[in-house]
Amino acid sequence: MADDARLIGPSAALAEGGKGVRFALRSWGGEEKGFVVRHGGKVCAFVNQCPHTGTELDWQPGEFFEESGLYLVCSTHGAIFEPSTGFCVAGPCRGASLEPLQVRERNGEVLLLDDKAPPNSTSSSEAK
């Protein structure tokens, strides 16, 4: 594991299709711009910025999923995203994607693997 891994929080804080955890990103000047959720039994993390308008997705802090808990939704214009990939399947930014962040679970903790990349950089995300 990379030496730069940083603790986001306990794995138990993430329920399947439930409330997510927001966290600060160093690459955004320490602003709270990242989030992590659990979907399909795995943790998935993204920059908290809709590709359509640049606004944060959650309508209340940590509320990223729509009612069914199957998709992420942007609170501003209702864009719908696949939680495992961040790909927009419906709404004004259809075909665009959320910026992925690499995370891993280990020993009951969720770790951010690298947050040094500049915003909107092209990076290959690992399977989560």
Give one DSSP letter per residue of the chain, joined into a string: --TT-EEEEEGGG--BTS--EEEE-GGGTT-EEEEEEEETTEEEEEES--TTT---S-SSTT--B-TTSSSEE-TTT--EE-TTT-BEEESTTTT-B--EE-EEEETTEEEE----SPTT---PPPP-
The pTM of the full predicted model, rounded to 2 decimals, is 0.84
> Mean pLDDT score of the chain, rounded to an integer?
86
Structural domains for the chain: 6-112 (2.102.10.10)
pLDDT in tens, 57-94: 998 999 999 999 999 999 999 999 999 999 999 999 99
At 102 the pLDDT is 94
